[in-house]
Amino acid sequence: MNVRAKFYVTSVARTASQPTATGTPGAPVSEQITLAPVYGEENKPWSQYTPCGQLQMTITNPAALGAFEPGKAYYLDISPAE
């Protein structure tokens, strides 16, 4: 069974590298993203009533840093890995 779930970002915690010689903060090196399900029709296929849950992931790929914005919703497509 494939499931499409709509989640929103509840928080983004960035970890920066060491400050530069001038004292300015270093560039982000990782982000811990926390997501929670959105209430509504889009999540009814996997949650009849009140969707609940949480997804946390740590991003360390420099190209993916900043891809998730707090308060913004995203679709998660889940299918069996074969």
Domain ranges of the chain: 3-17+26-77
pLDDT band at 15 (very low <50, low <70, confident <90, very high): confident
Q: DSSP character for 23?
A: S
Q: Identify which has the larger pLDDT, 27 or 73.
A: 73
Order of strands across the sheet that contains 73-78: 55-59, 28-37, 3-16, 73-78
Q: 26-64 burial by CB neighbour count: b if 16+ within 10 A, else e?
A: eebeebebbbebbeeeebeeeeeeebeeeeeeebeeeee
Q: Identify which has the larger pLDDT, 80 or 16.
A: 80
